[in-house]
């Protein structure tokens, strides 16, 4: 199961207690993927949901709030997005009642207009705003997180909502900003997408809903990734040191060989000669190990080795 699916499953795993929050959830679903239509002069509404469980959850809410019996959950293979495979249609007077209650339509029955104020009266209470976002995410949200074992370059953190209208996307981005997140808005294939890329913020959004089990699993992922990153950094760092040491050792041994072949090691002062012989015999030793063996400090050893390299450099040919 994808991470998005886990979050969605958690969202509908608990029944919603209060009517105001039930209304907010349905309003979120409707704003996210609902469709208004007119058939035979009658107004109708489609709730479109990605899973059968989600569609059943919506059915229960319609029953509990409006005493509306959903007669059929239809499955559409034609809808473009997998977020709206299951469809619940309501028409006529009941559709109008539902849409007015959800804050989608406003005005008298003979002069209905669509209320584009997404987060207006429905989301006044904090509990309702959270519930609205649950519905919205369920209907039009998606979220991906890095898969364990894969490199982070192709599977970063990403959470998004998709809308048909730019105003809806902008209103959602504004609301997310108000709760402390920094979403961006972009367009893709004629749709408007509100997205968040920061792992920390995605975690915060899921905590806001709240979906605590999913929060734990994203924290777990973030920690594991952090550990993996640190250990990679450590490895790179160790390797860098090692490379530098090896290069230095090779330079020193080349210098010592050059002196030996041209003027002979005996021409070196005793302290330098001792170091040259020790280095030549122990090319793999680190400076610390070599200094230890010679009973001198690391900086003293370093100084003498540099001196040897200088002498070698001064020898022509
Ligand atoms: Zn509420």
CA distance 232 to 112: 61
**Structural domains of the chain, ranges and CATH numbers in brackets:** 3-210 (3.10.28.10), 241-314 (no CATH)
How far is the centre of ligand 1, averaged over its atoms, from the C-alpha of 135 (Å)? 13
pLDDT digits (tens, 9 = 90+) for 109-160: 788 888 888 888 899 999 999 999 999 999 999 999 987 655 544 468 999 9
Pairing of strands 191-196, 105-106: unpaired
How far is the centre of ligand 1, averaged over its atoms, from the C-alpha of 127 (Å)? 4
How far is the centre of ligand 1, averaged over its atoms, from the C-alpha of 247 (Å)? 68
What was the pLDDT predicted at 152?
A: 46
What was the pLDDT predicted at 155?
A: 67
pLDDT digits (tens, 9 = 90+) for 282-312: 888 888 888 998 999 999 999 999 999 999 9
How far is the centre of ligand 1, averaged over its atoms, from the C-alpha of 102 (Å)? 13
How far is the centre of ligand 1, averaged over its atoms, from the C-alpha of 251 (Å)? 74
How far is the centre of ligand 1, averaged over its atoms, from the C-alpha of 14 (Å)? 15
Residue-wise DSSP of 58-84: HHHHHHHHH-PPP---EE-S--SSGGG
For the chain, report the end-to-end CA distance as a whole number of angstroms: 70
What was the pLDDT predicted at 224?
A: 86
* CB contact set of 271 (below 8 Å; sequence gap of 6+): 304
> Which residue stretches of the chain have pLDDT < 70?
78-81, 148-155, 317
How far is the centre of ligand 1, averaged over its atoms, from the C-alpha of 130 (Å)? 8
Question: SS3 for 49?
Answer: strand
What was the pLDDT predicted at 4?
A: 94
């Amino acid at each position: 199961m994808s991470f998005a699916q886990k979050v969605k499953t958690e969202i509908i795993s608990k029944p919603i207690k209060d009517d105001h929050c039930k209304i907010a959830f349905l309003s979120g679903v409707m704003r996210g993927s609902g469709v208004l239509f007119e058939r035979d002069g009658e107004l109708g509404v489609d709730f479109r949901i990605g899973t059968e469980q989600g569609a059943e959850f919506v059915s229960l809410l319609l029953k509990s709030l409006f005493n509306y019996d959903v007669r059929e959950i239809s499955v559409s293979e034609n809808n473009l997005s997998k977020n709206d495979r299951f469809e619940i249609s309501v028409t006529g007077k009941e559709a109008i009642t539902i849409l007015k209650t959800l804050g989608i339509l406003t005005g008298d029955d003979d002069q209905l207009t669509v209320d584009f104020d997404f987060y207006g009266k429905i989301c006044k209470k904090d509990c309702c705003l959270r519930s609205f976002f649950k519905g919205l995410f369920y209907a039009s949200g998606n979220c991906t997180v890095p898969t364990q074992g894969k490199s982070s370059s192709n599977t970063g953190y990403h959470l998004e909502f998709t809308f048909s209208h730019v105003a809806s996307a902008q209103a959602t981005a504004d609301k997310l900003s108000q709760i402390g997140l920094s979403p961006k808005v972009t367009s893709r294939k004629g749709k408007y997408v509100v997205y968040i890329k920061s792992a920390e913020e995605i975690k915060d959004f899921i905590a806001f809903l709240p979906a605590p089990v999913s929060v734990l699993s994203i924290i777990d992922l973030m920690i594991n990734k952090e550990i993996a990153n640190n250990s990679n950094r450590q490895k790179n760092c160790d390797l860098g040191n090692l490379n530098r040491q090896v290069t230095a050792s090779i330079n020193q041994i080349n210098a010592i060989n050059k002196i030996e072949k041209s003027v002979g090691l005996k021409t070196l002062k005793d302290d330098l000669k001792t170091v040259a012989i020790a280095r030549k015999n122990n090319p793999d030793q680190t400076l610390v190990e070599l200094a230890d063996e010679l009973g001198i400090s690391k900086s003293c050893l370093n100084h003498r080795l540099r001196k040897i390299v200088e002498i070698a450099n001064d020898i022509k040919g």
